[in-house]
Amino acid sequence: MGRRAGQDVRFDADGNVWLTDRGYPHRLVKLDPRTGVQKDYLLPDPKNGIHEVNIDPTGMIWLAEHSGVQPSNVKRLLQFNPKTEKFEQMIPMDPDNVVRNPIKWLQSIAFDSKSNIYVGWIMGGALSKYDRETKKVSVFTVPQPNAIVYGVIPDRNDNIWMALWDSGNIAKFDTHNNGWTIFAPLTYPAQVRRLNVDAQNNIWFGIWAAGKRPGKLAKLDQTTGRITEWTVPRQNASPYDVAQDPDGNIWSADVGGSAAALWKFNPKDATFTLYPKPQKPADTPKIQITRDGAIWYSPRGSVNAPAIGVLYPDMDKIETLGAYYQNGPPGYPYKLAGSVGRTGR
């Protein structure tokens, strides 16, 4: 079996949960939460790194190669077809060597309204675009020295947003003119890991680390350009990923404090609610939320119990154990063209 190390989870249109397993050998894992049945798929090169998984509106599954034990190898975007159960495309994401680093690797994946694919270079300070129509890869360098591109997400206007882990800045890439805008939060410098967009097109992110300053939750209002921050009422809070649930609450995977936990922020009254996880020492880098409000994650740091986990905050709202997005894959708070929704149980 080898070492298991779950990273990111995503849902397909049939209610299955897909997981990237960064243990060796690297695997893509499929879970049917209604039966508990899992199936593993080895990557084409199971040592070349893996991080995020994402699913496009047609159901194709995409993975970006990370560092692995071969950090100087060519890093590719992988396409997995769940119907044939085969990896059908392996696309080098810097074919012209725009990123001159001898060691560089990919991480997060996002789709625009035309299903073009954007992938961040966490080691390399750049953003690659795979044009689905022309099959061409373009690379855009972040206009900031030593940029470490962490989370990558789109908004409903086809802007691509990135968390810059090295500085704590938030970068916006305008896909219409290939222009950049850099936003500095109030807590600066700091470190930001993940970010997300809500149904109102606001950008949310957590201040993961800022020295002796407390952990923060931040919102960037795109209509005003203003950033608002709230202090997380938890000692040594380190919010990692954030996501909005169907009721408008913001959830975060927090790897700080005395134990790893999930928490909920209610923007209406600015209150926080804490949910400690069973695997106390296990950090969680990514969360996904179903249309019923279930919070799915993987306790990545749990050596003794590597797993896929789920929190049901309100069982009265859970209509199915299947994991379905409100708008279908890839799980954005708006529907992409071609998104498929299922009503199955």
pLDDT at 342 over 70: no
Nearest of 105, 277, 32, 23 to residue 6 by alpha carbon: 23
**Block residue for tokens 């009721």:** 247
pLDDT one-digit tens code per residue, 238-282: 999 999 999 999 999 998 877 889 999 999 999 999 999 888 888
pTM of the model: 0.96
Give the residue-averaged pLDDT of 29-47.
97
Please choose, from the candidates 231, 273, 232, the residue with its C-alpha nearest in 3D space to the C-alpha of residue 249: 273
pLDDT (tens digit per residue) in 63-89: 999 999 999 999 999 999 999 999 999
Q: Please tell me the distance from the alpha carbon of residue 79 to that of residue 104, in angstroms, as a whole number.
A: 20
Average pLDDT, integer, range 146-156: 96
Walk across the sheet containing 179-183 and list its strands.
Answer: 149-154, 159-164, 170-174, 179-183
For 159-176, the pLDDT digits (tens) are 999 999 999 999 999 999
- Which of 17, 18, 20 minimizes the C-alpha distance to 4? 20
User: For the domain 185-319, what is the CATH superfamily, name and number?
Assistant: YVTN repeat-like/Quinoprotein amine dehydrogenase (2.130.10.10)
Domain ranges of the chain: 185-319
Q: What is the mean pLDDT of residues 168-197?
A: 97
Quote the pLDDT of residue 283.
84
Q: How confident is the model at residue 36 (pLDDT cuts 50, 70, 90)?
A: very high
